[in-house]
Structure 1
């Protein structure tokens, strides 16, 4: 019996343009400034993308394929831990929808096809809010957040 699937949706509003939001997701030199990683690909359907840690080790932490690309409105990629890249059952999907919304952008990130209860499902439910908050902060102020920060002990 196949594992139960779940999804995670996050919506944020950013004072920016669709082009700048799309570039922030797809250009490695921009993503590293708010994400601490670089998203590396030629962004053509069927191409591989890699999520590379922006440090001296340059480890590839996530990997996937570009499913759909329609700049600056939509990007769909598959997503898996690099260690599980060979197992198609471990791949999930991320859809970035970027819409003009008066003088802002509404960014909707839908991460679906996740195995319910998995470490990946737990990780992304904590990770996406901080990464997307950092993206918003970066585009609006020029400074991202510390996406690796931990909660203070009580």
Structure 2
């Protein structure tokens, strides 16, 4: 029996260059400044990547493989919680498409092959909007957002 899947597509426009956006996703020292995590890999097709919390514990939270890479316009990776790394059914896919759009960049992030109703699907539906907003803020102002911020109590 095949699982029911869902996908999310996020599009944002950033006053930046494709190279800077690609580097912000793939260079650990840049990603930690707006994501509070580092994406670590050699970024070659078939290589593993790890999403590591940028704190003293350096916890590996997500893992996957690099499926496709065409700097600075496209990156495709698989994506799973580190605790589920050995389960092939746990993996989803993330595609970053970066295109010049006049004097800015249009970044399209497609997260698909997600199990409908899963914890991962619920988590990324909340996670990607704040991460992409933080990326935009960081590249445009030099300062990312607090990606762990919580709503203020009423």
Shorter-chain TM-score tier: over 0.9
Tell me which residue corresponds to 2:144.
144
Q: Deviations over 1:3-48 (max 9, x none)?
A: 1000010000000000000000000000000000000000000000
Task: Say if 2:13 is the partner of 1:13.
Answer: yes
Q: Which runs of 5+ in 1 are unaligned?
A: none
SS in 1 for 2:72: coil
After superposition, residues 3-152 of structure 1 pair within 5 angstroms as 3-152=3-152
Q: Deviations over 1:54-84 (max 9, x none)?
A: 0000000000000000000000000000000
Tell me which residue corresponds to 2:2.
2
Shift, 1:109, TM fit: 0.1
Shift, 1:85, TM fit: 0.5
SS in 2 for 1:143: coil
- Equivalent residues, number: 154
SS in 2 for 1:126: helix
Shift, 1:145, TM fit: 0.1
**Deviation beyond 4 Å, 4+ runs, structure 1:** none
SS in 1 for 2:9: strand
TM-score by length of 1: 0.99
Output the aligned Cα RMSD: 0.4
CA distance in 2 between counterparts of 1:31 and 1:151 reads 24
CA distance in 1 between counterparts of 2:76 and 2:136 reads 20
